[in-house]
Amino acid sequence: MQDAGVKLTSVASQLLGVSGRAILEKMIAGERNPEYLAELARGQLRGKIPQLSEALAGTFRSGHHGFLAAQLLERIDLCDEIEELDRRIEVMIAPFVETVDRVQTIPGVGRVTAIVLLAEVGIDMSRFPTAGHLASWAGICPGNHTAGGKRLSGRTRHGNKRLRTSLTEAAWAAARSKNAYLASHHAQVRGRRGVQKAIGTTRHDILIAYWHIVAGNTEYRDLGGDWHARRRRNPEKRKNTLVGELEKLGYTVTIEPAA
């Protein structure tokens, strides 16, 4: 005779319907009569009472199968609770759905991360005069610990853990994006300072982008994966850099175009 635990698995999709919970709870409580259990079926399952009765016949050990069935019911309850939470979240963010959609235009930021940003930071950017103020409040920027004119540490302070975790996940996703500024900036920092510094930089970039999107009521505008290369090749930028270096050395520089 086929083991009852295996049979329960084969008809799980049917048992976990309208009347499935009642059947499983009776079996966990010690009921073993397959005919009685099958009669608990409701709806379309009543048309399969003979097959259901056969499937429920066997050796159902409370110590083993009962434990597994109880665990299964707990998992179903947990899924139901999660679905209810998801429904409540959707109701609560309904007035801000346009903002959530705009935030998702940031590479690496999905719907869950966008909702976390909205919940933890909010949409009132008047509290943060600049994007830098937001990054400082969130603890997503380098520290500024100095003494005697010397910088002692660049370690970030402890900020909002939920916000930091979501931004870290988004940063890893953004680092894998194609032909995007965030991925390019991440690769540039990683080559010079390592992976962890690069993730921290990308977290910072995403949070700065969030401030601009919400404060300016706009979408994310990507600078492109070649932005850093274009910036290095910019003649005006190169000229200003060289002039600045000479002025730091104490020279007065006058620029005249070549003939």
Q: CA dist 240 to 43, 130, 223, 227, 248, Å? A: 79, 26, 21, 18, 12
Contact indicator for 39, 77 with CB cutoff of 8 Å: no
Q: Tens digits of per-residue pLDDT, 84-131?
A: 888 888 888 889 989 999 999 999 999 999 999 998 998 889 999 999
User: What pTM does this model have?
Assistant: 0.61
Domains of the chain by residue range: 4-92, 104-225, 235-259
- Residue 93 amino acid letter: I
Closest CA to 135 of 212, 188, 190: 212
Looking at residue 206, its pLDDT comes to 94
Q: Tens digits of per-residue pLDDT, 59-84?
A: 776 677 777 877 877 787 777 777 78
Q: Which stretches of the chain drop beneath a pLDDT of 70?
A: 1-19, 61-62, 142-159, 231-233, 259
Closest CA to 6 of 69, 73, 49: 69
Looking at residue 110, its pLDDT comes to 92
Residues 6+ apart with CB under 8 A from 56: 4, 7, 8, 23, 27, 34, 37, 38
- For residues 154 and 141, what is the distance between their CA atoms, to the nearest angstrom? 9
